[in-house]
Structure 1
Amino acid sequence: MPRSQRPARTYTTDALTRAVRILALVAAVAVAGWVLLLYPAMPQTVPTHFDVTGTPDAWGDKSSVLALVAVSVLLPAAMAWLSTKPRWFNLPVPVTEENAQRLYREGERMLVWMMVPIAMLFTGIALSLVGMPVAPVLWIGGAGMLVVLAIGVVRMLRAA
């Protein structure tokens, strides 16, 4: 069924999903604020890329941090907003009148929960700017994205 003909969303978002959405947004804003507070004291050259162990392997001007701050807030904000529009989602199964609400709910949950490992990745990157070891945070964030994706797709397939 084309997206324009899909049923409207009628379900109510559960409390846990709402809480995760809000907490992930708060975390993103807090990390961005922390980085902006540190910005004046940062060296002119900062790490811009990391190897698999979390060690910086590329460097750039500290102004690149501002782009990171913008993305670290705009991406979760866009995901939070989009998660409230499940009718627009590209779903792995056909949407019907019978399964639409279940699929929408699972798609919303997956997108909201994906905000958590993304916040972890941005936190790890921010910590790296002050010289902290970040490999565990980056690996957990990356693995978390894969776990959320796998669980979300399985739940959508079951909801179909």
Structure 2
Amino acid sequence: MNRPIISIPRTEVEFIHTIVSIAAILFTITYLVMTWTELPNSIPIHFNSLGKVDRWGSRYVLFILPLLSLAVYFGLSILAKFPHKYNYPVQITAGNAKKQYLNGRILLSWMKVEIVVLFSYIEWRIIQTALERLSGLGILFYVILIIFIMTIFNYLLRMRK
């Protein structure tokens, strides 16, 4: 694999995704800290396919999603620096490298923001359910999940064209 290594400036979309991702992570951590003393010792830690609670556990589990969000954010941010290393559905040439690399990088950017927002939403719903303000994951969980899957398919189709 002898692909060209080229420098492509960050796009406005990537910049906006960075802002939204950081805001979502900060919201999650802030909300967790603000509600910590109100939380019961046992909170929902798993939901069935209908979004209903089917397992309870320690409130310390709430630290997992913010940590995963940080790992996803930093991991995908680092990966975005190496678009010549990605797997593409087409052969990369000098003529299509810039377009393919940009598509690949923006796909990662969308994935990063969507995953971080999804994790923030799940954390918020868990806390709301534990505080008995809401129940379960709600329909928005499935909407975000469908958008995530559609984003991946959309960019894979773009790369094939």
Q: Where in structure 2 are there 5+ consecutive unaligned residues?
A: none
- Cα distance, 1:78 vs. partner? 1.6
After superposition, the Cα gap between the structure-2 partners of 1:25 and 1:34, relative to the gap in structure 1 and judged at 3 Å, is same
- What is the 5 A alignment of 1:65-144? 65-128=62-125, 129-131=127-129, 132-133=134-135, 134-144=137-147
Mean Cα deviation higher: 44-53 or 124-133: 124-133
Percent identical residues: 22
After superposition, the Cα gap between the structure-2 partners of 1:120 and 1:140, relative to the gap in structure 1 and judged at 3 Å, is farther
Instruction: Provide the aligned C-alpha RMSD in A.
Output: 1.8
TM-score computed with the length of structure 2 as normaliser: 0.85
- Cα distance, 1:116 vs. partner? 3.0
8 Å contact kept, 2:66–2:120: no
Q: Deviations over 1:117-154 (max 9, x none)?
A: 21332122112222234322210111011111011101
Number of aligned pairs?
155
Q: Structure 1: which 4+ aligned runs deviate by more than 3 Å? A: none
CA distance in 2, matches of 1:25, 1:88: 26
TM-score computed with the length of structure 1 as normaliser: 0.85
After superposition, the Cα gap between the structure-2 partners of 1:81 and 1:36, relative to the gap in structure 1 and judged at 3 Å, is farther
Q: Which of 26, 38, 46 is matched with 1:49 structurally?
A: 46
After superposition, the Cα gap between the structure-2 partners of 1:63 and 1:20, relative to the gap in structure 1 and judged at 3 Å, is same
Q: Where in structure 1 are there 5+ consecutive unaligned residues?
A: none
RCO (CA 8 Å, sep 6+): is it higher in 1 or 2?
2
Q: Which of 18, 22, 29 is matched with 1:21 structurally?
A: 18
SS across alignment from 1:98: coil
- Cα distance, 1:77 vs. partner? 2.5
